[in-house]
A and B are shown apart, each in its own frame.
Chain A
Amino acid sequence: MSNTLTLAEVEHIAELAKLGLTPQEAQMFQEQLSAILDYAAMLQQVDTEGVLPTAQGLDSGEAERPGMREDRVAPSLAQAQALANAPAQQDGQFKVHPILDE
């Protein structure tokens, strides 16, 4: 097993993703994520001399202004539909846990 990622880095990533990991899980993900990075490192060894960088897999090729829509208004959902799957709602709004910012 390689050690591309440290345990601390795994915990940082988990924190960013708002995931609480047990020590066993952190260990497991350290191995799995490291394996993914190793794979990427392997790809980086390929000689790409003379190959243009690809910013995006979805290349529109030579088409003129591809993949765009005209600025036209289309119908929206009704409020009840928009809120249909909300775990909680109030006054037509989504009700969520308090946002603690400060």
Chain B
Amino acid sequence: MDYEAIIGMEVHAQLKTASKMFCGCDANYAAAPPNTHVCPVCLGLPGALPVMNRVAIEYVLMAGLALNCAIPEEAKFDRKNYPYPDLVKGYQISQYDMPLSRDGWIEIRLEDGTAKRIRIRRAHLEEDTGKSTHMGAYSLVDYNRSGMPLMEVVTEPDIRSGAEAWAYLTKLRAILRYLGIASGNMEEGAMRCEVNISLRPAGSAAFGTKVEVKNLNSFRSVRQSIDYEIKRQAAILDAGGQVEQVTMGWDENAGRTVVQRSKEEANDYRYFPEPDLPVVRARRAWVDELRARLPELPDARQERLIAAGLRPYDAQVLTEEREVAEYVDAALSAGQAAGADARSISNWIMGELFRLLKESGQDIATIQVAPGELAALVGLVNRGAINAAAGKQVLEEMFATGRPAAAIVEARGLAQISDSSELERIVEEAIAANPKAVQDYREGKKAAVGFLTGQVMRASRGKANPQVVSELLRAKLG
């Protein structure tokens, strides 16, 4: 049978504040020895009182605005109660029924190029837990992470496939990075993901039994676990069985989901208002001030690049990372003076520059090729001063040395020969040296001109303008 997958996602992102959520402990604990970034508040010692970090609140409100959410005038914190050693107080300060933002959406672009909206149910603020390490006979707990500000973004069940989940995560992370409020680094645990998946017969309106997959720590595992669950659940339903409501984990090595706990001991968190924290009132003036602080976001940037002449797909890829987008912008604005059009610049970045970045493992923000120099190189190619093959060599050298394009062209004598008298001589030599190809051409094998062009290119050591060469050949061969 054909099934439709109904998928919702919860993403937790650590916020990039200087201090923790409810105390002044240093939030930069990555390299610190265990339990050295802790105080009575984040250790949950009796009598300690939490005080909200204004910047963490503002970051979530900014995320809410960027996710097209409504910002309710009042928000509050609640206690979510459950016993676990990494949770110092026996409860987590979170938000239950009055989150900082709600009812927004994100637009993703599907593989076929169409756009789709994923509704955001809410984005709220809570505190992170400590980190436990299981040693078999006992466990060890480090509370440096305890009390870190953690934003949770919850979607409506609008996602239909692993690919859509991937696109959603990509977009969400891009927005958070543009805002500068989260690193979104999943490998470091600064962004964590949970998905819930159910299947229903295509065209049906009812919902099937929901399975939760937790602790997904890469985009790839999100995509793979969803694809796996869809197949697993479809097989159960096809066999006439029933999907069990369980919480699962993803076994990266085995490439399958594994049951973590069955839902019988249903979570009963007994939320109640956190009596130690006041209500947050997001007044108009404050929200307006935050809105004014929002940078140009990926969607707007994408539209601007498309209007400048880029293909929609390229515009999307080039705006996923803020650093890349800024590089593209700088190259485009230098492009006008350099005689490089937007589409060509985008092609060179998407192709050659990305290849060099990937091969060298470098970051675009720190490479030696200044955006203006890239534009200059594209301009040289566009004007026919060098051909594309020479352009690639020049870019490689620019990448390795940081020298300007023009200087490399000059030093290596790569300037393209477009001067027809010199080319004419080389073309005539090629014709004289290859009677067989000439005969083929005259007998109707027009492809032979390609071979001859190749001979001319070689004789010119790649400096001939291939277009001029092929025109000359056709003229001479008649």
* Residues B18 and A71 in contact, CB atoms below 8 Å apart: yes
* Residues B279 and A55 in contact, CB atoms below 8 Å apart: yes
Given A60-B281, A74-B24, A98-B136, the answer on whether A69 and B52 have CB atoms closer than 8 Å is yes
Q: Mark A1-41, 1 if CB is under 8 A from B, else 0.
A: 00000000000100011100000000000000000000000
Nearest-neighbour CB distance to chain A for B351, whole angstroms, equals 42
Nearest-neighbour CB distance to chain A for B169, whole angstroms, equals 25
Q: Interface residues of A, CB < 8 Å — how many?
A: 41
* Residues B139 and A96 in contact, CB atoms below 8 Å apart: yes
* Residues A98 and B279 in contact, CB atoms below 8 Å apart: no
* Residues A71 and B56 in contact, CB atoms below 8 Å apart: yes
Nearest-neighbour CB distance to chain A for B265, whole angstroms, equals 8
Chain B, 73-91, CB within 8 A of any chain A CB? 74, 76, 81-85
Secondary structure at chain B's binding surface: helix, strand, loop or mixed?
Answer: loop
Chain B, 130-162, CB within 8 A of any chain A CB? 132-143
A–B complex contacts, Cβ < 8 Å, 10 sampled: A56-B76, A58-B278, A66-B278, A69-B24, A70-B54, A71-B18, A73-B27, A82-B43, A92-B34, A97-B139
The answer to the question of B53 belonging to the interface, with a C-beta cut-off of 8 Å to chain A, is yes
What residue in chain A is nearest B249 (Cβ atoms)?
Answer: A102
- Give the residue among B38, B82, B133, B279 with the most A Cβ atoms within 10 A: B279
Q: Mark B237-274, 1 if CB is under 8 A from A, else 0.
A: 00000000000000000000000110000001010010
Interface residues of B (CB under 8 A from A): 17-19, 23-27, 33-40, 43, 51-57, 74, 76, 81-85, 98, 132-143, 260-261, 268, 270, 273, 275-279, 281, 283, 286
Interface residues of A (CB under 8 A from B): 12, 16-18, 55-60, 64-79, 82-83, 88, 90-99, 101-102
* Residues B38 and A99 in contact, CB atoms below 8 Å apart: no
- Compute how far the CA of A67 lies from the CA of B275 in the bound complex, rounded to whole angstroms: 13
- Compute how far the CA of A76 lies from the CA of B48 in the bound complex, rounded to whole angstroms: 14
| Chain B residues whose CB sits within 8 angstroms of the CB of A79 once the complex forms | 33-36
What residue in chain B is nearest A90 (Cβ atoms)?
Answer: B140
Per a CB cutoff under 8 Å, which of A68, A75, A90, A101 touches B52?
A68
Per a CB cutoff under 8 Å, which of A16, A67, A92, A102 touches B278?
A67
| Chain A residues whose CB sits within 8 angstroms of the CB of B74 once the complex forms | 55
* Residues A56 and B278 in contact, CB atoms below 8 Å apart: yes
- Compute how far the CA of A65 lies from the CA of B140 in the bound complex, rounded to whole angstroms: 38
| Chain B residues whose CB sits within 8 angstroms of the CB of A96 once the complex forms | 85, 132, 138-141
| Chain A residues whose CB sits within 8 angstroms of the CB of B53 once the complex forms | 68-69, 71
Sample of 11 more A-B contacts, CB < 8 Å, known A58-B277, A68-B53: A56-B275, A56-B277, A56-B279, A58-B276, A60-B281, A71-B18, A71-B54, A74-B25, A77-B43, A93-B141, A94-B142
Per a CB cutoff under 8 Å, which of B39, B83, B143, B279 touches A59?
B279
Nearest-neighbour CB distance to chain A for B191, whole angstroms, equals 20
* Residues A93 and B142 in contact, CB atoms below 8 Å apart: yes
| Chain B residues whose CB sits within 8 angstroms of the CB of A55 once the complex forms | 74, 76, 98, 273, 279
- Compute how far the CA of A92 lies from the CA of B34 in the bound complex, rounded to whole angstroms: 6
* Residues A18 and B19 in contact, CB atoms below 8 Å apart: no
* Residues B260 and A102 in contact, CB atoms below 8 Å apart: yes
What residue in chain B is nearest A88 (Cβ atoms)?
Answer: B138
Per a CB cutoff under 8 Å, which of B39, B76, B278 touches A77?
B39
- Compute how far the CA of A18 lies from the CA of B87 in the bound complex, rounded to whole angstroms: 15
Per a CB cutoff under 8 Å, which of B34, B55, B83, B283 touches A93?
B34
Nearest-neighbour CB distance to chain A for B282, whole angstroms, equals 9
- Give the residue among A67, A75, A93 with the most B Cβ atoms within 10 A: A93
What residue in chain B is nearest A60 (Cβ atoms)?
Answer: B278
* Residues B51 and A68 in contact, CB atoms below 8 Å apart: yes
* Residues B18 and A99 in contact, CB atoms below 8 Å apart: no
| Chain A residues whose CB sits within 8 angstroms of the CB of B283 once the complex forms | 64
What residue in chain A is nearest B135 (Cβ atoms)?
Answer: A98
| Chain B residues whose CB sits within 8 angstroms of the CB of A83 once the complex forms | 35
* Residues B134 and A99 in contact, CB atoms below 8 Å apart: yes
Per a CB cutoff under 8 Å, which of A12, A78, A91 touches B36?
A78
Nearest-neighbour CB distance to chain B for A63, whole angstroms, equals 9
| Chain B residues whose CB sits within 8 angstroms of the CB of A12 once the complex forms | 268
Per a CB cutoff under 8 Å, which of B19, B25, B142, B277 touches A67?
B277
Nearest-neighbour CB distance to chain B for A22, whole angstroms, equals 21
What residue in chain A is nearest B141 (Cβ atoms)?
Answer: A94
- Compute how far the CA of A73 lies from the CA of B53 in the bound complex, rounded to whole angstroms: 11
